[in-house]
Amino acid sequence: MRIEAYNQVAQVYKTHKSAGTAKAAKTAAGYDEVQISSFGRDYQIAKQAVADAPDVREDRVAEVAAKVNSTRYEVSTEDFACKLLEKYHSVI
């Protein structure tokens, strides 16, 4: 390792470091500003829409409840068995 090259790099680093410090000091005297990208804004809107949405879809619940109450709701035993096995197969 050459010591001369290290000194040159250190000198360049010190030059850039002091320029960055002066810039930071200049903005510290001013004010802070935050800019949100359009993606970030869209994300916030979508997140708020999900938070505002109800946890239970009343229209679907009412539809299924009406079918159950009128005995028109049919469940395939094969579909039920498959779903049951899928659920407990991942646990085992």
For 28, half-sphere exposure in the C-beta direction (CA atoms, 13 angstrom radius) is 6
DSSP at 38:
H
pLDDT in tens, 49-62: 999 988 888 889 99
For the whole model, what pTM was predicted? 0.32
pLDDT in tens, 12-62: 666 544 545 555 555 556 788 888 888 988 999 999 999 998 888 888 999
CA distance 29 to 43: 32
Overall residue count recorded for the chain in this entry:
92
